[in-house]
Amino acid sequence: MTTTITSPLRAPGSARLRQRRRTLLLCLFTLALLVTLTAVGLSTGELSIPPLTALRALFGFGDSGDVLVVQQFRAPRVLAALIAGAGLAVSGALLQRLFRNPLASPDVVGVTGGASFGAVLLLALGASQLLVPLAALGGGLIAAGLLGAFAWRSRAAVGRLVLVGLAVQSGLAAAVNLMIVRFPAELASSALQWTTGSLYGRTWTEIWVGGGTITVALTAVLLLDRRVAVLDLGDDSAGGLGLRPDRARLQLLLLAITLASLAAALTGPVGFVALAVPHLVRFLAGPPTPATLALCGLLGAVLLLGADLTVLHLLPIAGLPVGAMTATLGAPWLLVLMIRQGRPMNRSTR
């Protein structure tokens, strides 16, 4: 399942110019869609509020009832979807380039499972929810360590990392289920709700802690994208250009784990956003560049917010978590990707 992701450094000048224009248009379109969905998220619900009134209420102006509904209930949920969706999508894009495998994503290689393990363990022990991001990050790093121990130390092929990651993910999911069953019901109930992958009940404190860190990590990834492009050329070429491949790869891997773990802390284990969005961006905009990475973030935010609004307002089942929606859409997508990767003619993502 090893693949080659085309480096933008190898593209001819005219092709790069056309790609920049196409990516810019896609970014503008996605940004407009994001603004529209945000307005829908702030104004729609049991109490319908006109979009402009909802926007004023977001900044504390207007009727006190509107301000309470928008600021305390709708805005944290919308922002959590936007931030977590962007973090998951960029993390997936980064992992797919580092592993050179289109099936690599946090929820496939076990990082999301590790974040779930850390967060559920903390919740089941009755600790403060303010520590959930730290616990999720610790769990994600443990999962990455297990992946390295089982795969890299045994010199497994890059393609087999995905299979090892699936095994790590399954093992950690079993550990999470065991904790939920064994811990007292009053402690396990909050952990069980978190594992469904829901944006319900998000608070401003969670947004500031988790969302702020994700925003910093996203900025760092965009600033370091040039290093990813150099790594795409191969370790020998990267070394010739003055880059230390192992050190750069470790830095980028830590950023990807941080993004995925903190996104999981904010929303629970929401699957397949990190897997699907980078593929969609490569299909629409071409080989990876800093602009396509930004497009990944925008599209991930739109996808997660759109999925949450769908389960909130369009589906007849009340209380359905957004994780169920993304899993329903993502499972067939993963099967199609695995089938494509099994065909000799499709050894490339482009």
Q: Provide the pLDDT confidence category of residue 76 given band limits of 50, 70 and 90.
A: very high
Q: Spell out the residues 6+ positions from residue 238 whose beta carbon is closer than 8 angstroms to its own.
A: 230, 231, 245, 248
**Nearest in space to 44 (alpha carbons), one of 65, 64, 74:** 74
pLDDT (average), residues 339-348: 55
Contact between 313 and 44 (Cβ < 8 Å): yes
Helix runs in the chain, H state only: 13-43, 51-58, 64-69, 75-99, 106-109, 111-124, 132-147, 158-182, 185-195, 204-206, 212-223, 225-232, 235-240, 245-267, 273-285, 290-313, 322-341
Give the residue extent of every domain in the chain: 33-334
Which residue would you say has higher pLDDT here, 11 or 277?
277
Handedness of CA 179, 180, 182, 188 (dihedral sign): positive
At the second CATH level, the architecture of 33-334 is Orthogonal Bundle (1.10)
3-class DSSP state of 318: coil
Q: What are the tens digits of pLDDT across the range 24-70? A: 999 999 999 999 999 999 999 888 899 899 989 988 888 888 999 99
Q: What are the tens digits of pLDDT across the range 10-23? A: 556 777 788 888 99
Q: Spell out the residues 6+ positions from residue 310 whose beta carbon is closer than 8 angstroms to its own.
A: 325
* pLDDT at residue 12 in the model: 63
* pLDDT at residue 2 in the model: 47
**Nearest in space to 276 (alpha carbons), one of 251, 303, 257, 305:** 303
pTM of the entire structure? 0.85
Q: Provide the pLDDT confidence category of residue 5 given band limits of 50, 70 and 90.
A: low
